[in-house]
Amino acid sequence: MIINHPILGPRDSQEFTYLGDASLIDRPDWQAEDAADQFHDYLYLRDNPAGEHRELWFHEQGDRSWLVVTRNTVTHEILTVELARDVARARGRSK
């Protein structure tokens, strides 16, 4: 599988480490009244979709960047690749 890195161009997926669902970017507020329940769900509950899915990938053997890869889990077709930093900033999750 080839991942089209936004900065470096096409790279083999073997250069990357898969982390999981890209919703991990949306970490719960630790000061919320129900923080324990939110963190339980955040850490342990995962969807296992067939079809389009947003995932976090780490470019371990390259520039060490984090990417949000949207791909079809049935066909492995990659639809979009974005820097996780940009996704987090767009959601107001980073400085």
Is residue 83 in a domain? Answer: yes
Is residue 95 in a domain? Answer: no
Q: What is the pLDDT of residue 95?
A: 58
Q: What is the dihedral of CA 74, 47, 58, 6, to 10 degrees?
A: 60
Tell me whether residue 85 is exposed, middle or buried, using C-beta atoms within 10 angstroms of its C-beta: 0 to 12, 13 to 18, 19 or more: middle
Q: Can you say whether residue 51 is alpha, beta or left, with left for phi > 0 and alpha for psi between -120 and 50 degrees?
A: left
Is residue 30 in a domain? Answer: yes
Is residue 34 in a domain? Answer: yes
Tens of pLDDT, residue by residue, the chain (95 residues): 999 999 999 999 999 999 988 887 878 888 999 999 989 988 888 777 899 999 999 999 999 999 999 999 999 999 999 999 999 888 877 65
Domain limits for position 30: 2-90
Is residue 74 in a domain? Answer: yes
Q: What is the pLDDT of residue 28?
A: 87
Number of domains in the chain: 1
Is residue 80 in a domain? Answer: yes
Which residue bears the tokens 């080839």? 2
Is residue 29 in a domain? Answer: yes
Is residue 22 in a domain? Answer: yes
For residue 78, what is the domain's CATH number? 3.30.2270.10
